[in-house]
Every structure is written in C-alpha cells, then in structure tokens.
Homo-oligomer: A and B are copies of this chain.
C-alpha cells in the first residue's frame, strides 16, 4: 500500500487518544497528522500537552505535532474520535458535515438509527446503512461510524456466534470492568483499592441495549434489532486494563457443548490489518481468562472465552474477556477504519 491516509485524533490527550497514537505508530495505512484536544492543550506540542500514561514511550512522530482545537477543518483525511459524550454529539456531527469520515469511540451516536454500530467480524454489512445516513443527514463525503461500549466486547462476539447457530433468547451478564475504562484521572485510588464498586454511571443501560443492534440485520433501510433480552450488572474492579464478563445464555434451539464450542471457534474472521488471529480464543484451563494474563492476546484484539459450561438454569455459562482500551476502544476504531478502506468507503 503506497498511500497513507492522514488521520486526525479528536480528544488526543486522553487515555483512548493515547492508545490511538500507540496503535497507529507503525500502521501501514494511517499516518497521524492532526491532534485535537481541549483548550488548555491547544497550541502546545503534543509532548507537552499530554500526560502520557502508557508503558510504551510516546511515539516520536507525534511529539512535536501542535495540538489544535477540536473543530473542523483539520489537516487530515479522516478523524478518530474519543471525545467525552457531552461534547461528542455536536462536534462529531460537525466534522461529518464538513466532509470527514468520523470513526467514533464515543457513545453519542451509537444508538442512532442511521449510524452503524460496528464489530467488523460480526456486522460489516451494516456499513450499507451509511447511504441511509448520508441521505437523511444531508452529508456529502463525511459520515459517522461507531464502535460499541468497551464492556460489550467481552461478550457480544461469542453471543453473535451462538445467535447465528442457535438463536439467543436471554442473556445475564455481570461485568468486572477495569479502571482504564473511566479515563484519566478517572477512578480515585481511595475509591477502588481493596474495594469493588457496584456502579458505573450510565453503563448498565448501554450494555443492555447495544448488543441487539450489533447482532441485528440490515434490511435495506434500517437495522432490525435482534430480539433477545440482556440484563446487566456492571462493576468496577481494581484492574488496570481488561474487562471481564460473567455470562449466562438461554438459547432458542438446543445444542451440545461441543456444538457451542465449534460455533465460537469456527465463527468467520476477517483479514484486516488489525484482525487478530483468532478472533475468539477458547481457553480450557479452569482459571482462565484472567485480565492480566489474557488481555494482550492477539495484541489486545482477541476475545478470550473460558469456563464455558452448561448452566443449571439457562443453557450455557461462560466468562469472556477483552482489552477495554484496545479491542474495546482505540483498536476497535482502527479496525473499523481498516474495514472502511477495504470496502472503498474512504
């Protein structure tokens, strides 16, 4: 690939913004040319504006980029957005209207009827919704695609595999969410050390509604949502990265454990640059998955599934795990962008 797309990052100094910088450091398709952040950062070189919190060093190429305001025009071909919800809606729409493809990690547009909520391996055909979106909103070249809430990524992929083969009827999920999901400064130490928090503001409704859209079918005009029910209880735990989900599933059609394992293992993968191999890994050790040992599987892009057993009330239970700031945020957006390139949409 000769040409590189020039990328702008909205909310560049935040934890997800930093992940974008890290993941795109040597990416063959993208090159960061613009970093936009809040007022107090504007005008400074990124190295001064950003309190870098990742264990790998800040990429040399971004250090001297001067941070710009979060508004179009921006010197780039497309933007990745990790803006806080309260500003994302207006700003992302402005960028799309100004002609930029907006690949958003924010929650603002996820449930809008005309906005694709993408997990490329599961619903890449939802991109057809972009035609509807452009027409409805009067966008010209710009558009908005989104990736799901980070907690969704720990259980939606195996759910998709089960739904395809056996139909999913109901899902109980209890999450163990890492502190990096709250950004920086995020969770105060005094709140979480030697502790568990049974509440994450706004999280349970997101987890209870996004999966049905992701697993829905595009009928040419809109997404017909999958008809299963999700009940979610969401907890914050003292873990840096990696969201774990405790899941029970009731299926529409009976299936053996072996069939369930196969449905997950054989679920089709894509071949994008950031596609992990495998998409989903089933572990048989009794004490896995664990966030610290499994979150980096597939460079943080593989979903790990363990403790997959028959349940004594529903049909099956399992534990899912994904890296919340890679597969659940920045990595998800990068994968979406790679998909858009492959489909010729940018």
Contacts and interface: CB of A to CB of B under 8 A. Distances in A.
Contact of A189 (B176, B186, B288, B307): B186
A344 interface: no
A296 B231 contact: no
A235 B287 CA distance: 10
A197 B313 contact: no
A190 B184 contact: yes
A170 B290 contact: no
A277 to B, nearest CB: 13
A186 to B, nearest CB: 6
Interface stretch (A215-223, A240-248, A334-342): A240-248
What is the oligomeric copy number? 4
B313 A194 contact: no
Contact of A313 (B56, B170, B198, B239): B170
A187 B184 contact: no
A293 interface: yes
Interface in A22-56: 53-56
Contact of A237 (B229, B238, B288, B319): B238
A312 interface: yes
A208 B192 CA distance: 29
A296 B306 CA distance: 29
B239 A198 contact: no
Nearest to A288: B198
Nearest to A52: B293
B179 A176 contact: no
Interface residues of A, number: 60
Among A190, A297, A306, find the residue whose CB has the most chain B CB atoms closer than 10 A: A190
Among A240, A292, A319, find the residue whose CB has the most chain B CB atoms closer than 10 A: A292
A287 B191 CA distance: 10
B194 A291 contact: yes
A319 B198 contact: yes
A243 to B, nearest CB: 10
Interface in A184-205: 184-199
A139 interface: no
Nearest to A243: B196
Interface of A: 15, 53-57, 170, 172, 174, 176, 179-180, 184-199, 208, 229-231, 233, 235, 237-240, 244, 246, 248, 286-293, 295-297, 306-307, 311-314, 317, 319
Ordered nearest first, which 8 A-B pairs have the shortest CB separation?
A185-B188, A174-B174, A195-B292, A199-B287, A174-B246, A231-B313, A198-B319, A233-B246
13 contacts: A172-B248, A174-B233, A174-B246, A179-B190, A185-B185, A188-B189, A189-B189, A193-B193, A198-B288, A198-B290, A199-B286, A229-B312, A231-B311
Given A187-B189, A198-B246, A237-B237, 4 more contacts: A199-B307, A230-B312, A231-B314, A238-B238
